């Protein structure tokens, strides 16, 4: 009994340390006096590069010194192995989102106009893909669906691990100031549930990275960060095309594709070798 209790205590401390470390990184970069809170493109670039440069070593050190387990257990194989899941995750968001955009525009629920040239849109979109990957998709998936989910899954059933990391992700969003209203908290929670489901279904975090990358890139492109479109009816667009259809249909497709390997009751040990 004492051994089990000690192991659980160690698990709690590992989760707390890495969660706190991630929180410090984002709070420093978003609220720190060095960069300030006002948005501009150069600041976005710096934040993106520094976030990945800090988060990846944080997880590497935690995995080696706290978990004493191999990197492979986190579910981030090389891109040579993971690119299919990356593209699958992107498609799970992009295809339903395209349907949502078509519905919103076709029924005149939303109007979207250009503020600039098509060339500028392409350049901003290409830049946002890189920045979203470095600032959100890779580091957030590595911490929450990688490290934290991996540790939770060693003691909890799959559905409990997904729920646990979703609660932590939502708390993280609240503490860094990205989700302070009920609707934003709900988006963070549902988003994390979907991404956790992707982790369980595929066995790695590449599909979640792809889904996260597609969602955040398009959301920022049509929003204030991209600043290349004028959008009327942004609330409807967010509800239907950015969130509702991709979150539900994307997960339904992936769940059906991997239904033979999904087991929500399984506990997943983390072998030392």
1-41 residue pLDDT tens: 445 554 555 888 899 999 999 999 998 887 764 555 667 88
Q: Do residues 270 and 69 make contact, with C-beta atoms less than 8 angstroms apart?
A: yes
75 pLDDT above the threshold of 80:
yes
**pLDDT at position 1, please?**
45
Q: Which two tokens stand for residue 125?
A: 């979109």
Q: Do residues 135 and 51 make contact, with C-beta atoms less than 8 angstroms apart?
A: yes
pLDDT band at 229 (very low <50, low <70, confident <90, very high): very high
Helices (H), 78-153: 79-106, 118-132, 138-140, 149-153
**pLDDT at position 142, please?**
97
Beta strands in 25-106 (DSSP E): none
What confidence tens digit (pLDDT) does each residue in 103-113 have? 999 999 999 99
What confidence tens digit (pLDDT) does each residue in 83-133 have? 999 999 999 999 999 999 999 999 999 999 999 899 999 999 999 999 999
Q: What secondary structure letter does DSSP report for 74?
A: G
């Amino acid at each position: 009994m004492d051994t089990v209790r000690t192991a659980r205590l160690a698990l709690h401390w590992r989760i707390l340390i890495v969660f706190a470390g991630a929180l410090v990184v984002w709070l420093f970069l978003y609220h720190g006096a060095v960069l300030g809170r006002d948005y501009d493109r150069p600041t976005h670039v710096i934040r993106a590069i520094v976030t990945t440069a800090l988060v990846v070593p944080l997880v590497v050190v935690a995995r080696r010194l706290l978990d004493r387990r191999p990197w492979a257990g986190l579910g981030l194989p090389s891109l040579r192995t993971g690119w299919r899941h990356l593209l699958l995750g992107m498609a799970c968001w992009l295809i339903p989102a395209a349907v949502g955009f078509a519905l919103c525009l076709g029924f005149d629920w939303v109007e979207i106009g250009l503020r600039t040239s098509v060339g500028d849109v392409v350049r901003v979109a290409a830049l946002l893909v890189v920045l979203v990957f470095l600032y959100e998709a890779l580091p957030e998936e590595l911490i929450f669906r990688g490290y934290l989910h991996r540790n939770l899954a060693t003691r909890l059933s799959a559905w409990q691990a997904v729920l646990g990391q979703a609660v932590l992700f939502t708390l993280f969003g609240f503490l860094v100031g990205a989700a302070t209203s009920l609707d934003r908290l709900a988006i963070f929670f549902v988003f994390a549930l979907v991404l956790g489901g992707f982790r369980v279904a595929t066995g790695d975090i590449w599909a979640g990275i792809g889904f996260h990358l597609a969602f955040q890139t398009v959301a920022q492109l049509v929003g204030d960060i991209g600043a290349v479109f004028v959008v009327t009816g942004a609330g409807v667009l967010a509800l239907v095309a950015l969130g509702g259809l991709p979150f539900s249909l994307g997960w339904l497709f992936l769940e059906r594709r991997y239904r033979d390997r999904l087991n929500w009751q399984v506990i997943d040990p983390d072998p030392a070798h």
